[in-house]
């Protein structure tokens, strides 16, 4: 993992770290916090020349620090669903073939910050959990459960069976995000850059919603749109009184 904030959160999360490399003579508050976190975990810090970090970097933007360890474990959908049994309020972000790693990382960062319980992505034709994604996520992937599925449409169907309401973000949605109910057990679905949600994924959603806009530009970057979606859910959950009987949601459990 590369980048000061991403590595700092890696250390704070308790995930295993095998090596921690820091550029010689690197100073600053962020590096100081990182070194303190390493000391608390009794990790040896290796000071190396910046050219060595450049040679090892997979992103080209290491910010003077690289950590090596085991990859973030990916969860199976069934295991994730089982872990949510009994929880009345769960938010999950589903990304339909988001291929830009910076966008996928930014979405992970927003999802974790908004309190999402996980992120589900297709195993193919998606950016995947790469070093660039982890750096763009600024450490969020150290906390956010990452679920990879073979077929996203079937995964959404399974989540519906487990009591989740599935809302897809689409510019052609009949109602705006501000108008719809946002049930407690909710899957927020965002589509790929440019093409949006695939037809089969669209058809699997319980409803398609749009973000209202007034300007001339007709669309938003997927990471921005996803962040708006996630934080609208958080806003309602923290500022409104939720009535379980009036919230539309499915019965049943996992």
Backbone φ, ψ for residue 93 (5° rounding)? -100, 125
Can you give the three-state secondary structure of the chain, one letter per residue?
Answer: CECHHHHHHHHHHCCCCCEEEEECCCCCHHHHHHHHHHHHCCCCEEEECHHHHHHHCCCCCCCCEEEECCCCCEECHHHHHHHCCCCCCEEEEEECCCCCHHHHHHHHHHHHHCCCCEEEEECCCCCCCCHHHHHHCCCHHHCCCEEEECCHHHHHHHHHHCCCEEEEECCCCCEECCCCCCCCEEEEEECECCCECCHHHHHHCCEEEECCCCCCCCCCCHHHHHHHHHHHHHHHHHHCCCCCCCCCCCCCCC
The CATH number assigned to the domain holding 39 equals 3.30.1330.30
pLDDT at 244: 47
Domain boundary among 18, 51, 68: 68
Length of the chain: 254
In a domain? residue 245: no
pLDDT at 139: 85
Residue 99: how many CB atoms within 10 A of its CB? 15
Domain boundary among 16, 43, 68: 68
In a domain? residue 233: yes
In a domain? residue 252: no
Residue 231 tokens read as 């934080």
pLDDT at 245: 40
Q: Are residues 58 and 115 in the same domain?
A: no
Q: Are residues 84 and 25 in the same domain?
A: no
How many domains, the chain? Answer: 2
pLDDT at 120: 96
Q: Are residues 22 and 130 in the same domain?
A: no
Say if residues 155 and 118 touch (Cβ distance below 8 Å). Answer: no
Pairwise CA distance, residues 228 & 222, whole Å: 10
In a domain? residue 249: no
Q: Are residues 163 and 148 in the same domain?
A: yes
pLDDT at 164: 96
Model pTM above 0.75? yes
Q: Are residues 143 and 18 in the same domain?
A: no
In a domain? residue 173: yes
The CATH number assigned to the domain holding 153 equals 3.40.1280.10
Domain boundary among 68, 92, 120: 68
Q: Are residues 111 and 225 in the same domain?
A: yes
Say if residues 163 and 249 touch (Cβ distance below 8 Å). Answer: yes
In a domain? residue 33: yes
pLDDT at 59: 79
Q: Are residues 39 and 143 in the same domain?
A: no
pLDDT at 211: 93
In a domain? residue 253: no
Q: Are residues 114 and 58 in the same domain?
A: no
Q: What is the pLDDT along the chain (254 residues), one digit of tens a residue?
A: 888 888 888 888 888 888 899 888 766 666 788 888 888 888 888 888 888 898 888 878 788 888 888 777 788 999 999 999 989 999 999 999 898 999 999 999 999 999 999 999 999 888 888 888 888 888 888 889 999 999 999 999 999 999 999 999 998 898 999 999 999 999 999 998 888 899 999 999 999 999 988 887 777 889 999 999 999 999 999 886 544 444 455 555 55
Q: Are residues 13 and 116 in the same domain?
A: no
Q: Are residues 105 and 142 in the same domain?
A: yes
Distances (CA, A) of 147 to 75, 131, 233: 5, 17, 21
Q: Are residues 50 and 87 in the same domain?
A: no
Q: What is the dihedral of CA 50, 51, 54, 55, to 10 degrees?
A: -140
* Domain enclosing residue 49, as ranges: 4-68
Q: Are residues 33 and 17 in the same domain?
A: yes
In a domain? residue 38: yes
């Amino acid at each position: 993992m590369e980048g000061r904030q991403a590595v700092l959160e890696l250390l704070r999360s308790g995930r295993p770290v095998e090596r921690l490399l820091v550029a010689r003579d690197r100073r600053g508050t962020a590096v100081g916090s990182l070194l303190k976190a390493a000391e608390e975990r009794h990790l040896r810090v290796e000071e190396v020349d910046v050219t060595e970090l450049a040679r090892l970097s997979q992103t080209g933007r290491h910010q003077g620090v690289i950590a090596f360890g085991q990859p973030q474990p990916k969860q199976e959908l069934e295991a994730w669903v089982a872990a949510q049994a009994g929880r009345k309020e769960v938010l999950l972000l589903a990304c339909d073939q988001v291929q830009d790693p910076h966008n996928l990382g930014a979405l992970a960062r927003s999802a974790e910050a908004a309190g999402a319980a996980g992120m589900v992505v297709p195993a193919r034709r998606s950016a995947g959990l790469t070093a660039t994604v982890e750096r763009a996520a600024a450490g969020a992937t150290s906390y956010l459960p990452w679920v990879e599925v073979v077929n996203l449409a079937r995964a959404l169907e399974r989540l519906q069976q487990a009591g989740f309401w599935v809302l897809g973000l689409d510019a052609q949605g009949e109602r705006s995000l501000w108008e719809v109910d946002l049930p407690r057990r909710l899957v927020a679905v965002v589509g790929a850059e440019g093409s949006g949600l695939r037809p089969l994924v669209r058809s699997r959603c319980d409803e398609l919603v749009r973000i209202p806009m007034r300007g001339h530009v007709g669309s938003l970057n997927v990471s921005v749109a996803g962040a708006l979606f996630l934080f609208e859910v958080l806003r309602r959950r923290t500022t409104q009184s939720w009535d379980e009987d009036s919230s539309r949601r499915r019965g049943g459990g996992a």
